[in-house]
Structure 1
């Protein structure tokens, strides 16, 4: 029986549009459509796996487990955070490894801010950024539209040595931000990782190319920009580049456009010096 307790996540290799990962106790292969290069490890290493995920034409896919039995869940340690892993029908594991550098950036920002900074994590998923902020002393509000995902994030909080203070909200992000604006509530930091497309519980439709500017404008209204503040925007949507994402942020925060940082989110490969690109970010920290 495998030891599944908080073993690390490692990107072992990538190439031929796939990635080989050690996700805690289990070695898996998943698609990586931008890994056009050749793998560095021999095929024998790629065949010594516990599971592989293959996409289908409908946007989902299928996990194939060597022993025929998929574990219900297990844990990994990554970016200083312990996380529950639960493979989904879309090939996700329950966290995005490329966000670890953003988690470190959030910790760095909060070290330079007064204690108990109020922070908001929108589209918060399983809570990696939430835990990075709350464990750094922030009073953090975690918002996601799925009750199931929030329960997953709460399980991750239970794994933390210093979970901090977290407020859990299940709601539509745009509606919640609008209500906070009307209430006069303000935050010292906001994180958002919006999906390309989404549909709310009441039929609300989100398309990032149509909604991102309005979302950022509303976020600005609830940021206390007269004090030290940060905003972190990341995405995995096709058609966006670091330049275009930075332009979106800079157009809204024009007075602080010189502070906009942009870049690619990447996952470092084990012992090769290579990185796997996996999304983009734009962010501002005003001290």
Structure 2
């Protein structure tokens, strides 16, 4: 089931439906004209960055609400930065992860160990859990990990084997290497700029290579896949593909853009990039 839809885009903005709530938010890529000008009148709230960060109509929205996005129930809430607790451009990836983990688990007759780094509110973690994986969810934000745990409860996965870790990713990986823990499937979505649990600075252009080198060392002897995504300008699909190919060699490689999608008549909006390696 899916309760997300891109309704229209244009003039630097996007109109999206999340369950019963329709929102009008900035979208720098949408440089074209809107296709359905009348549709924008249905927006329940409007977010702008023109004079600071501001929601208009936020007072009319519930504090939080639930929307099912590609089979995963997500608690959504308007944050001060304009985010909601889900990045819908990743939902096609959730389907891929769920499907591939399920098939690989059946082939091996045992659950895969899945590691989600910079894991945010847990959509991919829960999709992997739905596919049968034992999961490890790592994010430096205590609040986001708590949010992800709420989402696990919503999906009936509170008792599923998921380790919830609040930590700096590179420090966590270094400790996992020493502990001898290994993972069959790994997803990482590094931020352009972020802070670790202890205030550690993470800038993708300097820290990503180290992260990938550590990822290589926590891969199991029978790895299934490594999936790398990015919202950083300049980190094109080919850049990500080159990074994981250089690190992991010539497995099955693929790359592309993450997309916001709606009906057939709605322009698709690129929103980030991805690359993946399969054994």
TM-score w.r.t. the length of structure 2 is 0.93
| Equivalences for residues 129-278 of structure 1 within 5 A | 129-161=124-156, 164-224=160-220, 226-254=221-249, 257-272=250-265, 274-278=267-271
Aligned-residue offset at 1:10: 1.2
Contact 1:213–1:252 (CA under 8 A) maintained in structure 2 = no
Q: Identify if the C-alpha distance between structure 1 residues 24 and 211 changes in structure 2 by more than 3 Å, giving closer, same or farther.
A: same
5+ residue gaps, structure 1? 1-5
Pair 1:130–1:156, CA change in 2 (3 A)? same
1:76-129 CA-to-partner distances (Å, cap 9, x unmatched) read 111111101011111111000010111111122212323311111010000000
- How many residues align structurally? 274
Q: Give 1:70 shift.
A: 3.7
- 1:3 aligned partner: none
Q: CA deviation at 1:233?
A: 0.6
Q: Does 1:49 align with 2:55?
A: no
Q: Which of 60, 68, 87 does residue 78 from structure 2 map onto? A: 87
Q: Deviations over 1:18-58 (max 9, x none)?
A: 1111111111100110011111112x321222100001466
2:26 is aligned to 31
Instruction: Confirm or deny: 8 A CA contact 1:109 1:285 kept in the other structure.
Output: no
In 2: Cα distance, 1:258 partner to 1:133 partner: 21
Give per-residue Cα distances to partners, 1:147-172, cap 9 Å, x unaligned.
11111111111111456321111111
2:67 is aligned, of 73, 76, 83, to 76
Instruction: Pick from 57, 60, 63 the counterpart of residue 65 of structure 1.
Output: 57
Q: Which runs of 5+ in 2 are unaligned?
A: none
TM-score with structure 1 length normalisation?
0.91
- Say what the alpha-carbon RMSD is for the aligned residues: 1.7
Alignment partners' CA distance in 1, 2:196 and 2:172: 12
What's the CA shift for 1:270?
2.4
> Of residues 96, 99, 102 in structure 1, which corresponds to 2:93?
102
